[in-house]
Amino acid sequence: MGASEHLIQVEIFGERYTVRAQEDPGHIHRVAQYVDAKFYEIAKRSPSLPSPKMAVLASLEIADELLKLEEERGKVEAEAVARIGELVRLLEAELQG
């Protein structure tokens, strides 16, 4: 284990796991809480679903959320770049004019 790695105990859907990570333990706990909440959300909708299938559904839902956020971020960044470019053109026109 590297000097900056931590062993962190988390609980997801009633099961305890030890995670080895370089990230801040608080961050790992927030990630585990998010995954745990996703499991309980799925269990509420489909109470008889076995845990392995819940894990797959949770993974798919989290990946879907991530990809949608990345797409939205890309749109926001493109819009910001376009706006900045327009502002630069306006400033240059004013300085020359």
Q: Please write the tens of the pLDDT for every residue from 20-31.
A: 999 999 999 999
Q: What is the mean pLDDT of residues 59-82?
A: 98
Question: Average per-residue pLDDT in the chain?
Answer: 95
Label residue 20 exposed, middle or buried (CB < 10 Å: 0-12, 13-18, 19+): exposed
Q: Measuring CA to CA, which residue among 20, 21, 24, 52 is closest to residue 39? A: 52
DSSP characters over the chain: --TT-EEEEEEETTEEEEEEESS-HHHHHHHHHHHHHHHHHHHHH-TT--HHHHHHHHHHHHHHHHHHHHHHHHHHHHHHHHHHHHHHHHHHHHHH-
Percent of the chain with pLDDT over 90: 95
CA dihedral 21, 23, 26, 31 (to 10 degrees): -70
In this model, does residue 84 exceed pLDDT 90?
yes
Task: Name the β-bridge partners of 7.
Answer: 20
pTM, 2 dp:
0.80
In this model, does residue 18 exceed pLDDT 80?
yes
Q: Give tens-digit pLDDT for 31-63.
A: 999 999 999 999 999 999 999 999 999 999 999
In this model, does residue 2 exceed pLDDT 70?
no
In this model, does residue 3 exceed pLDDT 80?
no
